[in-house]
Amino acid sequence: MLLPSSYLITLLLTVLTMLCWGSWANTFKLSGKWRFELFYFDYSAGVLLGAIILALTFGTLGYDGFEFMDDLLHAGRRQDLYGFAGGVIFNLANMLLVAAISVAGMAVAFPVGIGVALVIGVVWNYILAPHGNPAFLFGGAAVIVAAIVVDALAYKTYALAKVEREARAGNAKSTRKAVSLKGISLALVSGVLMGSFFPLVEMGKGGELGLGPYAIGFVFALGVFLSTFAFNMFFMNLPVEGKPVEITEYFRGNFRQHTLGIIGGMIWITGAVSNFVAASAQGKAQVGPAVSYAIGQGATMVSALWGLLVWKEFAGADQRVRMLLGVMLVLFVVGLGLVSVAPLFP
């Protein structure tokens, strides 16, 4: 199997993770008025398909003589269970995050959900495998959390100003969208679960019978794919927003919508396997699971940039909102830099 041979390559893999995790949702936006419950069936299939392709290519190449199938057959049942459980927990967390966004909006769901996930994930991963300067690592994580909060504040300020303008023009019934406790609760549970899946992945890779990064990626993807059918039945029959969805509506989707779902899943798993590989690097190439996870969670800011530059979500923003966005970008770069250099100053 192919593994990074230098710290720079490992760091680039974590950046690839951040880009993939922050970009896959564009496929959902491109799918139009396609319900997220229906989109998720294709997304989970794309996750599994992408994991298989990566395992049979990069996981089979190299000169160490240990290929993906050898790794999979060599692993212990407990390690398989950890990897599978990691996929199941991530899947539920990701679906709850989307549900929280539909109930309370991005301004609440992202800072609560991803902020909690980042703190829990970095602390837990560092406890399991301490690597890197803790001051740089935890300081950088705190700065990234601050960037997420500032981004949410900018989004909320912009949204309220837009609604108030529409209200004055007679096009809106209310100037403020109520933030329900249900939305906050969904985001909190999502954050706790999201911060817990990566340590389970590391436990699945640990020990003499541990899975390699490509094998854990496959087992993880299997957990995502199979659990989607159970979780999605719940969300389809008891939706957090809108009417219940019949399974027959899935077959009414067009080729483009189904293809976008599969591509979205393949983009996400590419980032995930890159993260697993980066966390498995040894010697001078090592960055550690806490660092790779923290940088990967910078995907929240990548999503913000997509919304800002491509989807024009902040079109017509006033000076205060533009200032907050500038502060967010600066904090993000500083936090990412602190986390990136943490392994260089043990």
Q: Write the pLDDT tens digit of every residue in 248-278.
A: 999 999 999 999 999 999 999 999 999 999 9
> What does the alpha-carbon distance between residue 84 and residue 221 come to, in Å, rounded to a whole number?
8
Can you list the alpha helix ranges (DSSP code H) found in the chain?
A: 7-23, 25-30, 36-56, 68-74, 77-104, 106-128, 134-168, 181-194, 197-205, 213-237, 255-279, 289-296, 299-309, 319-341
Asked if residues 275 and 296 have their Cβ atoms less than 8 Å apart, the reply is: yes
> What does the alpha-carbon distance between residue 109 and residue 182 come to, in Å, rounded to a whole number?
11
Lowest mean pLDDT among 96-100, 226-230, 242-246: 96-100
Output the pLDDT for position 106: 62
- Tracing tokens 């997509």 back to the chain, one arrives at 306
| Nearest of 23, 96, 44 to residue 258 by alpha carbon | 44
- Flag whether pLDDT at 32 surpasses 70: yes
Phi then psi dihedrals of residue 212, to 5 deg: -75, 175
> Which class for 41: exposed (0-12), middle (13-18), buried (19 or more C-beta within 10 A)?
buried
- Flag whether pLDDT at 22 surpasses 60: yes
> What does the alpha-carbon distance between residue 43 and residue 91 come to, in Å, rounded to a whole number?
11
Query: What's the whole-model pTM score?
Result: 0.86
> What does the alpha-carbon distance between residue 97 and residue 183 come to, in Å, rounded to a whole number?
9
Output the pLDDT for position 176: 46
Give Cα separations from 300 to 12, 115, 318 (angstroms).
18, 10, 22
Choose between 235 and 185: higher pLDDT. Answer: 235
pLDDT tens-digit map of 295-336: 887 787 787 788 778 877 777 888 999 999 899 889 988 988
Choose between 217 and 161: higher pLDDT. Answer: 217
Choose between 152 and 55: higher pLDDT. Answer: 55
Give Cα separations from 68 to 41, 65, 133 (angstroms).
26, 10, 33
Residue percentage of the chain with pLDDT more than 90: 40
| Nearest of 89, 48, 55 to residue 75 by alpha carbon | 55
- Flag whether pLDDT at 216 surpasses 80: yes
Choose between 81 and 106: higher pLDDT. Answer: 81
Name the band, by pLDDT with cuts 50, 70 and 90, for residue 180.
Answer: low
> Which class for 243: exposed (0-12), middle (13-18), buried (19 or more C-beta within 10 A)?
exposed
Q: CB atoms < 10 A from the CB of 56, how many?
A: 15
Output the pLDDT for position 108: 64
Output the pLDDT for position 229: 95
> What does the alpha-carbon distance between residue 159 and residue 314 come to, in Å, rounded to a whole number?
9
Give Cα separations from 330 to 92, 268, 284 (angstroms).
32, 26, 29
